[in-house]
Each structure stands twice: as structure tokens, then as C-alpha cells.
């Protein structure tokens, strides 16, 4: 079968990371978490004591970032300068400032090229997937990074569903306090991010899947049907 590229965009809490990973594992594809690359750039700048407001310095640091993106959906380990940063880049000290790096247009141009190279490599026999292809997820994959992807999906969910999912993930509960604590992280970050990417509405030819009323298995089933139709 021909290699396939699946692009999935969506806001935080839409379930795109979980769904993308599960989809890649089920279809024998590689998996690319592009948000993790912006998080890694943020981690790297902080490690190098680069002020995140110094856009030129952030771009220069990102250019030489020795990042190794794991693309195995069963174990997407991310290594930077020999350090396993897979867990560290999820901490709120990174989440709370990552938008500052992600809104840097030079950084976006650089990471876009790295993402395109990883996607292209997975369409070749030598890649992790053995040439089967990749699921790449983020905010601008369907529109900017891989607008020519074989399958393009916008995964959405209403705000209440997204807040509940993130609250459970970050605080282990969905009580009022957990929801309030999550609100800034989710809604605030999406507002900042949407100044550079229009991931809240689907571009032409992008299939929108609303997961508000669906659990993970149900969402995965819908996504797999869309992929099967395209293959
Ligand atoms: O998906 P995740 O929450 O890990 O993404 C972290 C941040 O990376 C987002 O808040 C956004 O600022 C940025 N991002 C982006 N473009 C992408 C993926 C993520 O700007 N394709």
C-alpha cells in the first residue's frame, strides 16, 4: 500500500494527542507530536538562559537545538542534547510560557521545515514506519505543515468537554476547583495560540470531528473510518 500522511489539528483538550497516538499504533504508522517540538524549543531556551521575549535569541537557539523526536507511537521518547525531556516538557512551567515561543515566526518557520522532513522520511522505506507513513498532530498541520496530507482532520470538542478532560489529566478530578485551575491553562493558551494558527475552524477539505459526546474508543472509530475511506 502507498504511504499515508494523516494530519490532525485541534485545540488543547480535544483529545488529539491520545487519538493520534492510538490511530498511529492501530494503523502501523509513525507518530509526530508537533506541540512537543514547541515545548522542546521552550525547554531548550530556558536551559540556555535565553530570554523568551528576545525573539532573535530564541530563533537562534532553536536553529541549533539538538532535538531527537521519537516517532514510535508506543514510545514517543523525546531527547534534547542527550537528555530525555519527554516528561519535563509537560510541566506547567513549560505549558505556561510555550505560546511565547510558538508565536515566534522564525521559530515556526524552522520547526515547520523539521516537521516536513520527518513526515517525508516516513514516506520512505528507511523510516520508522518502514514507509507506511505517519500521523502528525498539532495546530497548523492541516493548513501549513502538510496541507497536501492524504487525510486532514480537525478534532474539536466544546469548551466544557475540553476543560473536563484536561482537569482530569492535570488534577485527577473534575470538581469546581480543578475546572477553575484548568480554565486559564486551556482557554488562555488557546486564545494566545489562535493569534498565529486558525485551528478552531476547519480549512477547505478538512474533515471536522466533534468529540464532545464521544469517548476515546468512539472517537478513534470515527477517525479510523475517515482514514479508511481515504486509503
Ligand atoms: O499540543 P500541545 O499543547 O503540546 O502544544 C503546545 C504548544 O505548542 C501550543 O500551545 C502551541 O502554542 C504550540 N503549537 C503550535 N503549532 C503546532 C503545535 C503546537 O503553535 N502545530
What ipTM does the predicted assembly reach?
0.96
Distance 188 CA to ligand 1 centre (A): 13
Q: Is 126 left (phi over 0), alpha (psi -120 to 50) or beta?
A: alpha
**Architecture of the domain made up of 4-230:** 3-Layer(aba) Sandwich (3.40)
Per domain, the residue ranges of the chain are 4-230
The answer, yes or no, to whether any atom of ligand 1 lies below 6 A from the CB of 13, is no
pLDDT tens-digit readout, 122-136: 999 999 999 999 999
Check the CA dihedral 219-223-228-229 and report its sign.
positive
12 is in an annotated binding site: yes
Distance 182 CA to ligand 1 centre (A): 17
Q: How far apart are CA 34 and CA 7, in angstroms?
A: 11
CA max distance for the chain: 50
Locate the ligand 1 atom nearest the alpha carbon of residue 34 and give its number.
18
Locate the ligand 1 atom nearest the alpha carbon of residue 192 and give its number.
12
pTM over 0.90: yes
Burial class, 221, CB count within 10 angstroms (exposed 0-12 / middle 13-18 / buried 19+): exposed
Distance 197 CA to ligand 1 centre (A): 10
The pLDDT score that the predictor gives to residue 208 is 95
The answer, yes or no, to whether any atom of ligand 1 lies below 6 A from the CB of 102, is yes
Lowest mean pLDDT among 118-122, 147-151, 171-175: 171-175
Q: Is the model's pLDDT at 196 over the cut of 90?
A: no
Q: Which of 111, 138, 152, 197 to mutate to test the pocket of ligand 1 (most atoms within 8 A of CB)?
A: 138
Per-residue pLDDT band at 202 (split at 50, 70, 90): confident
Amino acid at each position: 500500500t502507498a504511504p499515508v500522511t494523516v494530519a490532525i489539528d485541534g485545540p488543547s483538550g480535544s483529545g488529539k494527542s491520545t487519538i493520534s497516538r492510538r490511530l498511529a499504533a492501530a494503523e502501523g504508522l509513525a507518530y509526530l507530536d508537533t506541540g512537543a517540538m514547541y515545548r522542546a524549543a521552550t525547554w531548550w531556551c530556558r536551559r540556555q538562559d535565553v530570554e523568551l521575549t528576545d525573539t532573535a535569541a530564541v530563533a537562534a537557539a532553536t536553529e541549533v537545538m539538538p532535538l531527537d523526536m521519537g516517532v514510535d507511537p508506543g514510545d514517543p521518547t523525546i531527547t534534547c542534547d542527550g537528555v530525555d525531556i519527554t516528561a519535563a516538557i509537560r510541566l506547567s512551567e513549560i505549558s505556561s510560557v510555550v505560546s511565547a515561543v510558538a508565536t515566534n515566526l522564525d521559530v515556526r518557520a524552522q520547526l515547520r521545515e523539521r516537521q516536513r522532513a520527518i513526515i517525508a522520511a516516513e514516506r520512505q522505506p528507511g523510516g520508522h514506519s518502514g514507509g507506511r507513513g505517519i500521523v502528525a498532530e498539532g495546530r497548523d498541520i492541516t493548513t501549513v505543515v502538510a496541507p497536501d496530507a492524504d487525510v486532514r482532520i480537525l478534532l474539536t470538542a466544546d469548551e466544557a468537554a475540553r476543560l473536563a478532560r484536561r482537569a482530569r489529566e492535570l488534577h485527577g478530578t473534575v470538581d469546581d476547583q480543578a475546572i477553575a485551575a484548568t480554565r486559564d491553562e486551556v482557554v488562555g493558551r488557546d486564545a494566545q495560540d489562535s493569534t498565529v494558527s486558525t485551528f478552531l475552524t476547519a480549512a477547505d477539505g478538512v474533515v471536522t470531528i466533534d468529540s464532545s459526546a464521544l469517548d476515546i474508543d468512539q472517537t478513534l472509530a470515527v477517525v479510523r473510518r475517515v482514514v479508511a475511506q481515504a486509503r
